[in-house]
Amino acid sequence: MTSSTSLRQGLADELAQGGQLTDPAWRSAVEAVPRELFLGDTVFRPNGTQWEPVHRDQLGDDEWLRRVYSNTTWVTQVEGISASSALGPLSGRPTSSSTLPSLVLRMLELADIREGDKVLEIGTGTGYSTAILCHRLGDEAVCSVEYDEGLAATAARQLQAAGCSPHLITGDGLRGYQDGADYDSVIATCAVRTIPPSWLWQLRDGGSIVTTISGWMLASGLIRLVLDEEGVARGRFTGEKVSYMLARPHERPPRPTFYPHPGTIRNARVSPELLDDWTAQFVAQLAAPSAELVRTGEGIALIDVATGSQAWTEPHGDGWTVHQDGPLQLWDQVEDALALWEKEGAPDQTAFGMTVTEWDQTVWLGDPKGPSWRLPA
């Protein structure tokens, strides 16, 4: 049978060669923590538009372990149903997963965690990243919050099996965990639309927040923010193409089936194909943060559930036309932002930064005095 220990070493080698694992202390954690304890005996894999449960006994132990120690995200829950409980393929959104190890380690190295630091992890999930933290810092230095009661209970059992005893909290991670403050670092394994003020309040001066800023267009940006003594956190986006599931309180509202309204019609100044670009989609989301992005057969649609506003595009000759309906002119907002971004040379996400206070949060282009967009409250 393939040795779990040798597979952990192989995974560490792969992450080191890829540049995601440079610190010997984190390497030691990767080699020590048995990932198979945190995946149970069943995971989901994509099968067309559905998620199909895959069982360890179907694959055999050797193949199962090879998959466990691949640098892959394994979905463990879909629409609140765990892989072990699924009776067959499921449709819907993944609601929990074991994140690919390279991203786990990238987040930890970006946080610049040192010996003696205290860390608040938002999103325990399976508990694998929590165990990595415990191995490096010790159980007493790690607090981890999980929103889903079932996931929290499973993670607690799996962490105990791995010999880890961090502070585990079941609740809304957007509130943090005041009893464990002050923290040297907050690390979120979920995306947020805006930084919760509680994370700032529970962070020591000079502490950091590592998270992905996302939204209802599902455009993401990875960032490390550092808190100064005046209570202002600042940072720049790394530019990496990283995405996480949105924190459940920040998730998109239920949306009915999209039916296009004719609305007002005009020629589009910007091609909707531009939104295939990682940064362009991020800019569009900044400009219309309450809109969802839907890709139609021939173009895109922007839909604001709260106001009923919509915009959708269709090809017309060598260009595009846009239809807009409702109180918000969604495509106007997006076009203006994209035109400004292109005027600045269409830089990648590393040109963007963020400033966060208790009362205001902005993403800016170039520097804090450059063009900026406020994040939703």
Q: Please identify every residue annotated as catalytic.
A: 97
Alpha carbon distance 12, 29 (integer Å):
9
Amino acid (one-letter) located at 62? D
Among 30, 6, 173, 198, smallest CA distance to 106 is for 30
Given a contact cutoff of 8 angstroms between Cβ atoms, the answer to whether 135 and 162 are in contact is no
* Closest to 204 in 3D by CA, of 175, 233, 224, 238: 233
Q: Which residue has the tokens 């918000």?
A: 328
CA 43/CA 56 separation, integer angstroms: 9
18's tokens: 């890829």
Place of tokens 């996400």: 349
- The Cβ-side half-sphere exposure at 64, using a 13 Å CA radius, reads 18
3-state secondary structure of 290: coil
| Angle made by CA atoms 70, 73, 79, in degrees to the nearest 5 | 145
Evaluate whether 19 touches 49 at the Cβ level (below 8 Å).
no
With beta carbons less than 8 A apart as the criterion, state whether 320 and 313 touch. yes
